[in-house]
Chain A
Amino acid sequence: MSTKIKINSQIFQDSNNVYYPKDEVEVSDLIRELYKKDSPTEIIGNNSKSFIGNKTQSANTTSLSKISGIIDYRPEELYIKVKACTPINEIEKILSENSQELAFEPIDFGYIKDGKSNKGTIAGYLSCNYAGSRRFKVGSVRDHVLGFKGVNGKGDIIKSGGTVVKNVTGYDLSKLIAGSFGTLVALTEITLKVLPKKDSSTTVAIYPNNFEQIYDLFNKLSSSSSEISGAVFIPEQSNDKDFSGKRNTVFKFNDLKSNVSFLAFRVEGDKISIEEKINNLKKELKLNNSDISTLDVYQSEPLWEKINNLEVFEKTKHNLIRMVIPPANGSKLCKYLENNHNYFVDWCGSLFWIEVNSKKEEKIKDLKKMANDFGGYLTVIKTSSGYDYGEPIFTVDKVRLMISEKVKQSFDPKRILNPGKMYRGV
């Protein structure tokens, strides 16, 4: 740390000069002091996702990791209020004891980072707003946040929202905080909507021949009243032996042919309705004479965990792209990616995880253009060690950048919190 800040209260600092405020008052005191001294700080939780986004140019680092613990959990009211840096594992454990869950399926980014599970904290999730496979059915992280408390860039403690689902009192700042990468407030408290966990899950895998067929199936699946809660396409990439080896190992299940391309969809609920929905879907998708595999709950659950952990890209040394587009353009994108990049498709055809080899970084520009042309966007989630940031890792147009600057200014006029983490000037 280059700037030594003298603050009123005794906030713990470790040998690396990282501040560890232990409650919102300490966060407020610290940021107010940094504000006075025009001294920006990086905001981190337990560092599980801090590799995502641009590197911040800050003299200080503030870890909110000590602001942890469950404040109020009301299963019958379907909400849980926690301190911002409560680990996801802790939240999921207590919810599971009450047969509830975070329906947006938090992604475990630990696998792509260093090959180990590390789900990190709820503040980190909210700041990134990256939801797992169930997103197209239940919404993203932002759709499950009922309220928050935090400290803005002037050191003021602010709150928004509450504990109830229906609330239109004032601007919905919870939405704005979601996906803001810690550039607007340092979060101290978060209230989340929780939902009942489904009794069981079954996955059906299909082995389609071409991209048109895949997208026809995705379209039929998302048009069915027999609701599904996950649909992925995992292509075979025969030209990359290392990747196909890993792919075959990750998706090795008794009832799944993992060495060929497959589309898998998940149905959740009680056993009778799962059976009924799968039968309906088989008719609607005309699968009765097709080669399909049915994975029972003991295979279905780990399969979706592996998908949500991005395990096929475990410890990747290359660039990992997250691209979201309207599904109608998906088959075109698949054709472009085939034999060029390793990838898989989630969210019933909308979400693409694409690995861009570090030797082909110039291709990111092409992909970004395609994302824009298709009406979507991309983010470089993990960069290779030599990434030169020539192509910005987020997608933003001029008008939105201008508005983002104004919004940033209203929360953090001196750009104290995570400056540059998202965009230059924000």
Chain B
Amino acid sequence: MTELALPKIDNSILNRKIEIVKKLSKLTDKENVLSEADELRPYETDALSVYTQTPLAVVLPENTDEVSEILKYCHSENIKVVPRGAGTGLSGGALPLQDAILLGLGKFNKILEIDYENKCVVTQPGVTNLGITHAVQNKGFYYAPDPSSQLACSIGGNVAENSGGVHSLKYGTTTNNILGVQMVMMDGTICRFGGKSFDQEGYDLMGLICGSEGLLGVVTEVTVKILKTPEVVRAALIGFPSIKEGGDAASEIISSGIVPAGMEIMDKALIEATDNFSKAGYPRDAELLLIVELDGTKSEVNELIRKVEVICKKNNCSSLKLSNSEKERLSFWAGRKAAFPACGAMAPDYYCMDGSIPRGKLAEALLEIKKLSEKYELPVANCFHAGDGNLHPLIMFDGNDKEQLRKTEEFGSEILKTCVRLGGVITGEHGVGIEKRELMCEMFNDNDIQQQLSIKKSLDEKNLLNPGKVYPILRKCAEEGRVHVHKNKDKFPDLPRF
């Protein structure tokens, strides 16, 4: 089993649990403070469920002033705080710490204002991503970023992770689609960055907060930009006899000047898995499946579809189907959207990786992943946001087998190192969290990490907010490299893994 170093446990905090819970119950309604074992259990993990930890207590404040009072108290008493949105994060960013308060934003679940004139929605952070679109779709508007967990993930969590989705090449990620945030700093200071107007002047603190994984502040309000739903959306489902031909077609679509709303690639293993699972009618003889979605006005979309058809035929596609109705378009996506549960049905557990690579390196990356799959004797299926280069290999394993879990983690880590070697990054949209912390040194040198830590220190001097996440526990990358060697001995036996 690999080691997972967490910040040193402060026993004096553990010993003061009763007093701390009592104080928290004065800062918010006492019903909002959870401290019994059975109450804490649902909060032990986020969607990276291989790691679990029971927090000291869970507090669920109801408004910004309560968040501020709680943080101010924790700051003065040196109590660590782990913020949590909907708990759908895949990198362990909301993994509790034994001596930390888990600050849940679940009660911040209201949309505060829908402002069509300024094309924005002001919302509390606990509202789901899809909840925003639902609130404005009757007037023909929507919120563009659409992470696959959009039904459950909260907008506050989206800000913390800078979530993307399948449409981010054309419409950007969270950072490109929010106008303002209200945030509480660790010392309790309430601040507001941006608002309803574009491009706040001065340092782009909203841009800094977006994607900071809950390390710099607790977001208590978000103003998002809404867009008008396109007049026409059509999709093409295209099968290719080889990875190379499909990858080349995807690259050529982009270099020809087309910016698809979405462009997804699935490999043979995933085509079979999803087709078995959802009966989507995918071409099972294809080595690679490409879904291209185009939006705009009617003639614009028809022209783009025609161009895509020409490019795919030139690259020897083996099948090509165009959606002629909204129902048919959604059926094209049905299999892709079922990719994760389909893998879940094939093995007891699956581990979803999240690297980004330059689009043109897809064939090389998939070949490398195939070799690694043989080396580790673990099956893998791949889906790829071809529009923006975000690769999601799904490694299938049995979590009850500790050796398989170890091999899976090593396999995953090798995939991400491959992404970096090919000119990409270790995380496209899931965040670093606890999962990819040690891999930060693959991308950044000591100077880069020191600069980031220095920002953290400037805004959270005592390192109380979500400590132990994103950055390696040891400061120097070289040191971390040595420590990372597996010694077959768990440094933190109190941290169960499943």
User: Bound pair: A and B?
Assistant: yes
Known contacts A168-B430, A350-B198; A76 and B359 CB within 8 A of each other: yes
CA distance A326 to B196 in the complex (A): 6
List of A residues within 8 angstroms of B357 by Cβ: 164
Among A75, A129, A167, A379, residue most surrounded by chain B Cβ atoms (within 10 Å): A167
Contact B459 A163 (CB under 8 A): no
Contact A140 B198 (CB under 8 A): yes
Interface residues as binary, A176-206 with B (CB distance below 8 Å gives 1, 0 otherwise) = 1011100010000000000111000000000
B493 to chain A, nearest CB (A): 30
Contact B455 A171 (CB under 8 A): yes
List the one stretch of A33-41, A55-63, A270-278, A292-300 in contact with chain B.
A270-278
Interface residues as binary, B176-217 with A (CB distance below 8 Å gives 1, 0 otherwise) = 100000000100011111011111111111111011100010
Known contacts A140-B198, A328-B117, A404-B203; A168 and B169 CB within 8 A of each other: no
Interface residues as binary, B246-257 with A (CB distance below 8 Å gives 1, 0 otherwise) = 000001101101
B358 to chain A, nearest CB (A): 5
CA distance A78 to B387 in the complex (A): 10
Contact B228 A225 (CB under 8 A): yes
List the one stretch of B59-67, B400-408, B443-451 in contact with chain A.
B443-451
Known contacts A165-B169, A225-B229; A377 and B197 CB within 8 A of each other: yes
Q: Flag whether A226 is at the interface (Cβ < 8 A).
A: yes
List the one stretch of B11-19, B50-58, B291-299 in contact with chain A.
B291-299
Contact B229 A74 (CB under 8 A): no
B112-162 with Cβ < 8 A to chain A = 115-120, 140, 161-162
A367 to chain B, nearest CB (A): 14
Name the CB-closest residue of B to A198.
B257
List the one stretch of A12-20, A150-158, A243-251 in contact with chain B.
A150-158
Q: Flag whether A136 is at the interface (Cβ < 8 A).
A: yes
Contact B448 A160 (CB under 8 A): yes
Among A143, A184, A197, A394, residue most surrounded by chain B Cβ atoms (within 10 Å): A143
Among B199, B296, B389, residue most surrounded by chain A Cβ atoms (within 10 Å): B199
List of A residues within 8 angstroms of B427 by Cβ: 167-169
Residues of B in contact (CB 8 Å), total 92
Contact B197 A173 (CB under 8 A): no
Contact B199 A196 (CB under 8 A): no
A335 to chain B, nearest CB (A): 17
Contact A162 B424 (CB under 8 A): yes
Contact A410 B454 (CB under 8 A): yes
A9 to chain B, nearest CB (A): 19
Contact B196 A77 (CB under 8 A): no
List of A residues within 8 angstroms of B450 by Cβ: 156
Contact A168 B454 (CB under 8 A): no
List of A residues within 8 angstroms of B429 by Cβ: 166, 168
Contact A171 B208 (CB under 8 A): yes
List of B residues within 8 angstroms of A326 by Cβ: 115, 118, 120, 195-197
List the one stretch of A110-118, A216-224, A258-266, A304-312 in contact with chain B.
A216-224
Q: Flag whether B399 is at the interface (Cβ < 8 A).
A: no
Q: Flag whether A142 is at the interface (Cβ < 8 A).
A: yes
List of A residues within 8 angstroms of B7 by Cβ: none
CA distance A131 to B202 in the complex (A): 15
A126-157 with Cβ < 8 A to chain B = 129, 131, 135-136, 139-140, 142-143, 152, 156-157
List of A residues within 8 angstroms of B258 by Cβ: 196
CA distance A174 to B425 in the complex (A): 15
Q: Flag whether A343 is at the interface (Cβ < 8 A).
A: no
Contact B389 A168 (CB under 8 A): no
Residues of A in contact (CB 8 Å), total 84
Q: Flag whether B164 is at the interface (Cβ < 8 A).
A: yes
Q: Flag whether A390 is at the interface (Cβ < 8 A).
A: no
Contact B198 A180 (CB under 8 A): no
A181 to chain B, nearest CB (A): 9
Q: Flag whether B300 is at the interface (Cβ < 8 A).
A: yes
List of B residues within 8 angstroms of A225 by Cβ: 140, 228-231, 297
A392-426 with Cβ < 8 A to chain B = 394-396, 399-400, 402-404, 406-407, 409-411, 422-423
Contact A143 B231 (CB under 8 A): no
Among B229, B390, B447, residue most surrounded by chain A Cβ atoms (within 10 Å): B447
Q: Flag whether B428 is at the interface (Cβ < 8 A).
A: yes
Contact A158 B201 (CB under 8 A): no
Q: Flag whether A363 is at the interface (Cβ < 8 A).
A: no
Contact B211 A407 (CB under 8 A): no
List of A residues within 8 angstroms of B115 by Cβ: 326, 328
Known contacts A76-B254, A166-B388, A407-B203; A158 and B448 CB within 8 A of each other: yes
CA distance A350 to B119 in the complex (A): 12
B214 to chain A, nearest CB (A): 12
Name the CB-closest residue of A to B447.
A156
B423 to chain A, nearest CB (A): 6
Q: Flag whether A172 is at the interface (Cβ < 8 A).
A: yes
Name the CB-closest residue of B to A408.
B203
Contact A394 B201 (CB under 8 A): yes
Q: Flag whether B1 is at the interface (Cβ < 8 A).
A: no
CA distance A178 to B203 in the complex (A): 7
List of A residues within 8 angstroms of B119 by Cβ: 222-223
Contact B297 A276 (CB under 8 A): yes
Contact A223 B162 (CB under 8 A): no
CA distance A187 to B430 in the complex (A): 29
B441 to chain A, nearest CB (A): 11
CA distance A128 to B444 in the complex (A): 26
List of A residues within 8 angstroms of B424 by Cβ: 162, 164
List of B residues within 8 angstroms of A257 by Cβ: none
CA distance A171 to B214 in the complex (A): 11
CA distance A128 to B424 in the complex (A): 28
Contact A406 B458 (CB under 8 A): yes
Q: Flag whether B172 is at the interface (Cβ < 8 A).
A: yes
List of B residues within 8 angstroms of A379 by Cβ: 201
A218 to chain B, nearest CB (A): 10
Q: Flag whether B265 is at the interface (Cβ < 8 A).
A: no
List of A residues within 8 angstroms of B162 by Cβ: 168, 172
CA distance A273 to B302 in the complex (A): 10
Contact B176 A164 (CB under 8 A): no
Contact B210 A172 (CB under 8 A): yes
CA distance A14 to B312 in the complex (A): 57
A78 to chain B, nearest CB (A): 6
List of B residues within 8 angstroms of A219 by Cβ: 117
Name the CB-closest residue of A to B207.
A175
Contact B199 A142 (CB under 8 A): yes
Partner of A273, one of B175, B202, B299: B299
List of B residues within 8 angstroms of A69 by Cβ: none
B389 to chain A, nearest CB (A): 5
Contact A328 B118 (CB under 8 A): yes
A169 to chain B, nearest CB (A): 5
Partner of B358, one of A77, A157, A407, A410: A77
Contact B389 A176 (CB under 8 A): no
List of A residues within 8 angstroms of B298 by Cβ: 276
CA distance A174 to B450 in the complex (A): 16
Q: Flag whether B440 is at the interface (Cβ < 8 A).
A: yes
Interface residues as binary, B448-483 with A (CB distance below 8 Å gives 1, 0 otherwise) = 111110110111000000000010000000000000
CA distance A327 to B117 in the complex (A): 7
Q: Flag whether A375 is at the interface (Cβ < 8 A).
A: yes
Name the CB-closest residue of B to A160.
B448
A46 to chain B, nearest CB (A): 24
Contact B388 A224 (CB under 8 A): no
Name the CB-closest residue of B to A409.
B458
Contact B204 A179 (CB under 8 A): yes
A to B CB contacts below 8 Å, 24 in the list: A77-B389, A136-B198, A159-B448, A166-B389, A167-B428, A168-B161, A171-B212, A171-B216, A173-B208, A175-B207, A179-B199, A180-B203, A225-B297, A273-B300, A280-B231, A326-B118, A326-B196, A326-B197, A377-B197, A403-B203, A407-B455, A410-B457, A411-B455, A422-B202
Known: A168-B429, A169-B425. 11 other contacts (CB 8 A): A143-B176, A164-B358, A166-B389, A184-B203, A269-B300, A276-B300, A277-B297, A326-B196, A377-B200, A407-B208, A411-B455
Query: A-B pairs with the 6 shortest C-beta distances?
Result: A175-B207, A196-B257, A273-B300, A76-B255, A166-B428, A326-B196
